[in-house]
Amino acid sequence: MAQAFKERVIYQIYPSSFKDSNNDGRGDLKGIISKLDYLKKLGIGIIWLSPIYESPMDDMGYDISDYYNINKLFGDMNDFDNLILEAKKRDILIVMDLVINHTSTKSKWFIEAINGNEKYKRYYYFEKGKKNKAPNNWDSAFTGSAWKKVPNSDEYYLCLFCDTQVDLNYHNEEVIKEVEKIIKYWLDKGVYGFRCDVINNIYKTSLRNDNFLKLYNKGTKYYQNQEGMFTILKRFRNDVLDHYDTFLVGETGAITPKIANRLINERCLDMFFEFDHIFADKSKLLPIFKRKFNAKKLMKALFNWQENVPYIANYLENHDQLRSISRYGDAKDYYKESGKLLALLLLTLKGTPVIYQGEEIGTLDYKEISYEECKDVAAKMAFKTVKKLLHLSDKKVRKLVNETINRDNARAPMQWDDSINGGFNEGKETWLKVNDDYKTINVKNEEKDEDSILNFYIKLIHFRNDDEVLKKGEFKRGYLSNNLNYFYRIYENRIYLIVLNFSKKTIKFNIPLKLRLILSNVENKDLNKLNPYFAGIFEVM
Ligand code: GLC
């Protein structure tokens, strides 16, 4: 099992929106168990569960109040044990989300701290304000100050996300010990590994002011990729992880291949998620501004990672990103073709493919979601900040936020069939609205349609599961442009050529190699002319 993460395809489940078994409007563990056969058929070998721990859900479980208990909204420990068991029967491994940069303000540790217990105050960053202002000028990742004032006190606490997510203090040995205990607890329960939330933020070297950018002072140079992070992750490895057959995948915004190599070589992480390619259609400085999608930009970022790290976790979607066909494909005229092209890209890159729930059926973003319907705390905070900064009308601000960063787009209930609420439940109002297109885009429809995006994923995943070149092959760059792109995968004496036409145009393709087409998304009689959104795997003969 040690290298299972290199052999298998990962599927991310967002528990609130996967399957609601008790008709209370929110997904749950029993719902997940009821869909394990579906995932098995899809070819999935590992499930990554977004947080299911006890939580007030201000940031949808990424604000944990009790690391040792299951959120009642999702079920209980019995359901969790059953999930591990039922998954095991189907040879599926379970990965948990490990959110250890911060806890919820509802955590016992924080409640003790706020009540003045010095031991627990040292678990967090409590600092005195400066002239009635926050201790420094850092902004939170969700905009607004990264400090929240403690009522009736001159102290503030650090919260780099929303103000009920309190940053833990990793200068404190006791915090490290607590986290090791948590990791051990879940590994002993039979969990295979962890996706580590914002892991390269955990160590704050200093709390100095950030003077780099006046508009938005994140202070990241003092807490991203710090030496202390390497040390702590190595501690986790030596003290706990090395005693198990397990693995860690890190969510690591703002890393470079150099840092990633170090993380892997020093066994801090086994693989990681990079964030460069997601800016192919939006501004890096102000992600609220959309840019016309540029395939060359997307592929260039991916190629850079493919070439410069030994291993990586690949993704096009997750619970924080808008849907990929809406972003990189053509949902209107080439919905199926572009959806399948993206599938083929994801499944043929070097590294472990991570599919997000609904991606396999070509789920799209909402056409519209109002401020009242919006549930994403980050989107809500951004609404306020953008409005204040840019003095735009409410309508304009909503449009900007919804089209670029409103994470609700990825979090709509899964569309299982064409019955009410898309079969997510039996019709009870859902925690977040169901996308209107569920009558056409749903699992049941696509299972019946041989030519569906879902059936293409099934074919591709099973192909990869049995294919050494895709699982183990080296990557070699081919060609980059805003329409035609290709790359090679090489293993022992076999070479694959992966070809992608990211455009509505038929394009010429003649490379002086003898090729055999193994698999493609559309029928293409004359392979010297590639149809719009053609994607194929060829073997070089
Ligand atoms: C990660 C999660 C995101 C969450 C944030 C704070 O980026 O993926 O959903 O809001 O961390 O925990």
- Distance (angstroms) between ligand 1 centre and the Cα of 197 equals 6
Q: Which of 197, 210, 276, 317 is catalytic?
A: 197
Which sign, positive or negative, has the C-alpha torsion 69, 163, 197, 199?
negative
Confidence category of residue 423, pLDDT binned at 50, 70, 90: very high
Catalytic site includes residue 197: yes
Q: Which of 131-140, 278-287, 431-440, 503-512 is least confident?
A: 278-287
The average pLDDT across 409-421 equals 98
Chain segment 445-479, per-residue pLDDT in tens = 999 999 999 999 999 999 999 999 999 999 999 99
- Distance (angstroms) between ligand 1 centre and the Cα of 62 equals 6
Confidence category of residue 525, pLDDT binned at 50, 70, 90: confident
User: Residues with beta carbon inside 6 Å of ligand 1?
Assistant: 59, 62, 99, 161, 197-198, 251, 319-320
- Distance (angstroms) between ligand 1 centre and the Cα of 251 equals 9
| Ligand 1 atom nearest to 377, measured from its CA | 10
More confident residue, 218 or 410: 410
pLDDT given for residue 90 in this prediction: 98
Does the structure show a pLDDT above 80 at 212?
no
Catalytic site includes residue 251: yes
Strands lying side by side in the sheet with 155-158: 126-128, 155-158, 147-149
Confidence category of residue 116, pLDDT binned at 50, 70, 90: very high
Beta strands in 60-143 (DSSP E): 66-70, 93-98, 102-104, 126-128
Chain segment 61-91, per-residue pLDDT in tens = 999 999 999 999 999 999 999 999 999 999 9
pLDDT given for residue 1 in this prediction: 59
Q: Which residue puts its alpha carbon closest to atom 12 of ligand 1?
A: 62
Q: Which residue puts its alpha carbon closest to atom 7 of ligand 1?
A: 198
Beta-bridged to residue 251, according to DSSP, are 273
Give the mutation target among 320, 322, 408, 409 for probing the ligand 1 site: most ligand atoms within 8 A of CB: 320
Q: What percent of the chain has pLDDT over 70?
A: 99
Q: Which of 251, 365, 376, 403 is catalytic?
A: 251
- Distance (angstroms) between ligand 1 centre and the Cα of 476 equals 32
- Distance (angstroms) between ligand 1 centre and the Cα of 198 equals 7
pLDDT given for residue 449 in this prediction: 98
> Quick one: tokens of 465?
């599961």
Chain segment 24-42, per-residue pLDDT in tens = 999 999 999 999 999 999 9
Say if pTM beats, i.e. exceeds, 0.85: yes
Confidence category of residue 416, pLDDT binned at 50, 70, 90: very high
pLDDT given for residue 437 in this prediction: 98
pLDDT given for residue 283 in this prediction: 87
| Ligand 1 atom nearest to 63, measured from its CA | 12
The average pLDDT across 186-207 equals 98
- The domains found in the chain, sorted by start residue, are 4-101+174-368+438-465 (3.20.20.80), 108-167 (3.90.400.10), 472-540 (2.60.40.1180)
Which sign, positive or negative, has the C-alpha torsion 199, 48, 325, 16?
negative
Nearest to 479 by CA among 462, 459, 493, 500: 500
Task: Write the CA distances from 539 to 155, 341, 498, integer angstroms.
Answer: 64, 18, 9
The average pLDDT across 125-144 equals 94
The average pLDDT across 144-155 equals 96
Query: Measured between alpha carbons, how far is 476 from 258 in angstroms, rounded to an integer?
Result: 19
Q: Which residue puts its alpha carbon closest to atom 5 of ligand 1?
A: 62
Q: Which residue puts its alpha carbon closest to atom 9 of ligand 1?
A: 320
pLDDT given for residue 440 in this prediction: 97
- Distance (angstroms) between ligand 1 centre and the Cα of 12 equals 14
Cα atoms in the Cβ-side hemisphere of radius 13 Å centred on 484: 14
